[in-house]
């Protein structure tokens, strides 16, 4: 079977873009999913309210991303500086991750000063990374490029998981106080796989920079986009639906280890559970990579949401059965095999739905507004991540089965909203905006040319390439 990108002429550009997707897996997996929450609650801050404080720290950093994403995206579009900001946030995140190694017991304030900006840089960098997709692929190829990148990222995550478990076992790093070398490894991995992006990824300069203060320009462009919501109403509806099922996705990611531990899994089984979820995620990315462009974006998303509805409702029912068994005297042990089925469904859904959603948003996005739109996309999913705090409160007060049942409700609402997206109308609106904003550019350096500049033989910047 050929690779999904084998027929594309700019494979080198795509691989350099994918390399950053591989790089940031060290933060999303090793830091946010596996190591840092445990390190924070076992070493940094060990007071009785440690779980609540950790949720506030995580939610606070995500809230900063929510506030910054749209304006940062608008500025990046206007100044054509997506690559600079992508690499800048990546290097900052990697450096801060390495510095986690200096943290020790009762170092709460230093941990806040390091983790909050690191998580901010990682998450806002994801927006800039996604905003390159409209530049790298035609609309009919976006799903396969996004899906292939997602698949490679999941394989990298699996490799990171294997290396980490091996290091913990071989070097005796089971004690969270000894996680320092793992933090340094995560930061170095991030830096190393960012190098191809630095060297080879090019950014198309779609706009001539507007004169004036960049912050004012960012807000101005954002207001203009808000006014044009009616023109891009299908994109707006898709983002609204993404918020609702994004809450369910974020909750499963951030609470996965807690949920399986409450359902009777020991440390070994918990790690295997995460590995199974990751492997299923790799399989899930095949759907968008090979079939979404042919099946249609909306049809693919709706089908995957049905799979997620089955997974979340089954998970809630299993948690209810487990709680009922534990309440009996003597406690009744519920068979654990359904959890492995849910691991496959959840991982499949995370891999396929995440990639399919990114491709669908790119399909409905005008190229000249890509960073701006993906800033809004980042706002949507980061705001959904903030919704994990109410889930945690509900789980502690009402119980796991009821809390999981609310996830079914979020998925159902997201499914209902997505049904109202008109895929063809949304793509036509994006194409019309591309045509309206189209400008001649220099064939050499990619600078957008205005007025008389377009009629001269040489570019004012590089002085040698003809304007085309």
pLDDT range class, residue 415, cuts 50, 70, 90 = very high
Which span out of 67-71, 130-134, 200-204, 206-210 was modeled with the highest average pLDDT? 200-204
DSSP per-residue letters across 204-225: ---SPPPSS-HHHHHHHHHHHH
Does the pLDDT value for residue 177 go beyond 70?
Answer: yes
Please tell me the CATH code under which domain 11-437 is placed: 1.20.1250.20
Q: What are 214-247's pLDDT values in tens digits?
A: 667 666 666 665 565 557 889 989 999 999 988 8
Residue 181 to residues 57, 155, 443, Cα–Cα distance (Å): 23, 22, 47
Residue whose tokens read 């799903």:
143
Is the whole model's pTM more than 0.75, yes or no? no
What pLDDT does residue 81 have?
79
Mean pLDDT, residues 286-314 taken together: 83
Q: Name the 3-class secondary structure at 18.
A: helix
Q: What count of other Cβ atoms lies within 10 Å of the Cβ of residue 131?
A: 29
Radius of gyration in angstroms for the set of CA atoms belonging to the chain, rounded to a whole number: 23
Which of the given ranges, 278-287, 371-380, 436-445, has the highest pLDDT on average?
278-287
pLDDT value at residue 339: 80
Looking at residue 457, what is its pLDDT? 52
pLDDT surpassing 80 at residue 193 = yes
More confident residue, 460 or 152: 152
How many other C-beta atoms are found inside a 10 Å radius of the C-beta of residue 313?
Answer: 16
Res 468: pLDDT: 40
Residue with more model confidence, 451 or 104: 104
d(CA 231, CA 459): 34
Instruction: Sketch the domain layout of the chain as residue ranges.
Output: 11-437, 438-468
Distance of alpha carbon 69 from alpha carbon 207, whole angstroms? 19
Q: Which of the residue ranges 95-99, 141-145, 174-178 would you say has the lowest mean pLDDT?
A: 141-145
Q: In the predicted model, is pLDDT for residue 425 greater than 70? A: yes
pLDDT at 210: 60
pLDDT of residue 414: 92
Contacts of residue 11, defined as CB under 8 A and 6 or more positions apart, other chains included, come to 5
Q: What's the pLDDT at 453?
A: 43
Q: Which two three-digit tokens encode residue 53? A: 């404080």
**Amino acid 113: pLDDT:** 95
Q: What is the pLDDT of residue 94?
A: 97
The mean-pLDDT minimum among 62-66, 150-154, 281-285, 454-458 falls in 454-458
Report, as an integer, the average pLDDT of 425-448.
69
Q: How far is CA 55 from CA 59, 165, 314, 390, in A?
A: 6, 25, 26, 10
pLDDT digit string (tens) for 46-84?
887 776 777 778 878 888 887 787 677 767 766 677 899
User: Is 80 exceeded by the pLDDT of residue 390?
Assistant: no
Q: What is the average per-residue pLDDT within 138-164?
A: 81
C-alpha span between 453 and 423 (Å, rounded): 37
Q: How confident is the model at residue 455 (pLDDT cuts 50, 70, 90)?
A: very low
Going by pLDDT thresholds of 50, 70 and 90, the confidence category of residue 376 is confident
Average pLDDT, the chain: 80
Least confident of 52-61, 227-236, 306-315, 404-413: 227-236
Residues 56, 190 contacting (CB under 8 angstroms)? no
Residue 465: pLDDT above 50?
no
Residues in Cβ contact with 427 at an 8 Å cutoff, skipping those fewer than 6 apart: 139, 363, 364
Question: How many Å apart are CA 66 and CA 389, to the nearest integer?
Answer: 15
pLDDT at 466: 45
pLDDT at 86 (0 to 100)? 92
Average pLDDT score over residue span 31-54: 80
């Amino acid at each position: 079977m050929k690779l999904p990108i084998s027929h594309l002429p700019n494979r080198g550009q795509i691989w350099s873009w994918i390399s950053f997707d591989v790089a940031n897996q060290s933060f999303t997996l090793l830091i946010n999913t596996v190591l840092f929450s445990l390190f924070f609650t076992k070493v940094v801050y060990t007071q009785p309210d440690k779980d609540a404080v950790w949720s506030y720290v995580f939610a606070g950093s995500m809230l900063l991303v929510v506030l910054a994403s749209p304006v940062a995206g608008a500025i990046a579009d206007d100044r054509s500086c997506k690559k600079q900001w992508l690499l800048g946030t990546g290097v900052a995140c990697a450096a801060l991750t390495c510095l986690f190694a200096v943290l020790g017991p009762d170092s709460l304030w230093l941990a806040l000063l390091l983790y909050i900006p690191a998580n901010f840089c990682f998450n806002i960098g994801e927006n800039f990374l996604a905003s390159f997709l409209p530049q790298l692929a035609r609309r009919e190829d976006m799903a396969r490029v996004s899906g292939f990148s997602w698949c490679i990222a999941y394989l990298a995550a699996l490799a990171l998981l294997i290396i980490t478990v091996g290091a913990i076992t071989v070097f005796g790093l089971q004690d969270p106080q000894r996680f320092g070398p793992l933090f340094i490894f995560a930061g170095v991995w991030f830096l190393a796989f960012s190098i191809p992006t630095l060297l080879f990824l090019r950014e198309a300069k779609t706009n001539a920079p507007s004169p004036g203060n960049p912050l004012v320009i960012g807000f101005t462009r954002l207001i203009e986009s808000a006014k044009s919501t009616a023109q891009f109403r299908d994109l707006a509806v898709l983002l609204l639906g993404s918020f609702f099922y994004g809450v369910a996705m974020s909750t499963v990611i951030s609470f996965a280890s807690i949920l399986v531990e409450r359902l009777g899994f020991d440390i070994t089984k918990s790690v295997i559970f995460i590995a199974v979820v990751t492997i299923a995620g790799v399989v899930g990315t095949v759907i968008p990579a090979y079939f979404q462009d042919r099946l249609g974006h909306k049809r693919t998303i709706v089908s995957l949401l049905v799979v997620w509805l089955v997974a979340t409702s089954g998970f809630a029912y299993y948690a209810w059965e487990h709680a009922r068994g534990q309440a009996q005297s003597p406690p009744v042990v519920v068979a654990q095999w359904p959890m492995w089925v849910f691991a496959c469904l959840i991982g499949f859904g995370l891999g396929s739905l995440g990639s399919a959603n990114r491709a669908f948003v790119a399909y409905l996005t005008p190229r000249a507004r890509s960073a701006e739109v993906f800033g809004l996309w980042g706002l949507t999913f980061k705001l959904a991540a903030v919704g994990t705090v109410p889930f945690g409160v509900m789980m502690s007060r009402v119980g796991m089965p009821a809390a999981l049942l609310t996830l079914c409700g979020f998925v159902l609402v997201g499914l209902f909203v997505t049904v109202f997206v008109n895929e063809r109308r949304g793509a036509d609106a994006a194409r019309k905006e591309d045509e309206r904003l189209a400008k001649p550019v220099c064939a050499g350096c990619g600078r957008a040319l205005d007025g008389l500049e377009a009629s001269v033989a040489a570019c004012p910047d590089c002085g040698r390439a003809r304007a085309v």
